[in-house]
Amino acid sequence: MEFIPTKTIVSSYNENPNWFGINYNMNIYKGCCHGCIYCDSRSSCYQIVDFDRVRIKENAIEIIRKELQSKRKKGVIGTGAMSDPYNPFEGKYKLTRQALKLIDEYRFGIGIATKSNLITRDIDLLKRIQSHSPMIVKMTITTFDDKLCKKIEKNICTSNERFKAIKELSDNNIYTGVLLMPLLPFINDNEENIKNIIRKAYECGAKFVFTYGLGVTLRKNQREYYLEQLRKIFPKENLDKVYMETFGERYENPSPNSTHLWHIFKCECEKYNILYKMEDIINDYKNKYERKQISWF
Ligand code: SF4
């Protein structure tokens, strides 16, 4: 394992103030080995060389402690945007777990995005944080089909195992939902997939299912990697050519069926009484703390 020097780990999050009500961003690891073929963090704008190799930020826990001590405003710390906080090395190094202990100690909230069922290891800490501050777990599930999952997200647990994790978290009253994104045109952008994921999310006790754009965004480097993987995974379908003919080098690559799929998505969420609008999700997981403790923010 390589340890890399760093000055900051918990930074203010200004990118999109409405993104799950996140106030700060935290990445303890650099790079991710989960192998999602569509990963945006591979884009050249982030300048992460050898993205699939995980590195640890040196003295991460000491740095996080100092940063939390010095923050004047409490808030929700988001993690999982650039690298999954529950990569396979987390099992040994327990850095995400140690960071959660600090987040609990300094009474911040937490928003975790992951694709790993290792998160259930930390249910005890998530419960503690949730007892005083907003807490949300976003489990990304893009396909109901475990065989497809193993092709497009090859080094992580299957969708079925992620649903089991959602059930375990929900059974422990941890506020949990599904990030159903990206939808890859011509691959998982179909009605059956969306319906199955929402139904199963409901059965597992998920509070929300969120999707955005009903497609995939592709940037330099990320696009080349993605198209290369399509050639390897679907050699007969010529999907790389279909993508270039349909989207060229555009950043946004929506499903050709996106209007219909959005209608299905919305109807299914409403049928199961599952939240799907960002503002409703934020209100639902944050509001009771704001009412209880005006000074929290
Ligand atoms: S888990 Fe997230 S950060 Fe890791 S490869 Fe997949 S999309 Fe990228």
Q: What is the pLDDT of residues 96-123, one digit of tens each?
A: 999 999 999 999 999 999 999 999 999 9
User: How far does CA 135 lie from the centroid of its chain?
Assistant: 14
Residue to mutate (ligand 1; options 33, 36, 158, 225; most atoms within 8 A of CB): 36
Short-list 266, 180, 245, CA closest to 216: 180
Residue 113: CA count within 13 A, CB half-sphere: 20
Which residue in this structure is represented by tokens 């422990």?
Answer: 172
Short-list 153, 150, 140, CA closest to 112: 140
Question: Residue with the nearest Cα to atom 3 of ligand 1?
Answer: 83
Instruction: Look up residue 73 and give its two tokens.
Output: 């405003």
- Cα 256 to ligand 1 centre (Å): 25
Digit-coded pLDDT (tens) for 174-198: 999 999 999 999 999 999 999 999 9
Provide mean pLDDT across the span 127-155.
98
Residue 115: CA count within 13 A, CB half-sphere: 29
pTM: 0.95
pLDDT at residue 290 in the model: 75
Residue to mutate (ligand 1; options 53, 90, 115; most atoms within 8 A of CB): 115
42 CB under 6 A from ligand 1?
Answer: no
Digit-coded pLDDT (tens) for 244-281: 999 999 999 999 999 999 999 999 999 999 999 999 99
With 60 as the cut, is the pLDDT of residue 295 above it?
A: no
Question: Residue with the nearest Cα to atom 8 of ligand 1?
Answer: 39
Average pLDDT, the chain: 95
- Whole-angstrom Cα distance, residue 162 to residue 115? 7
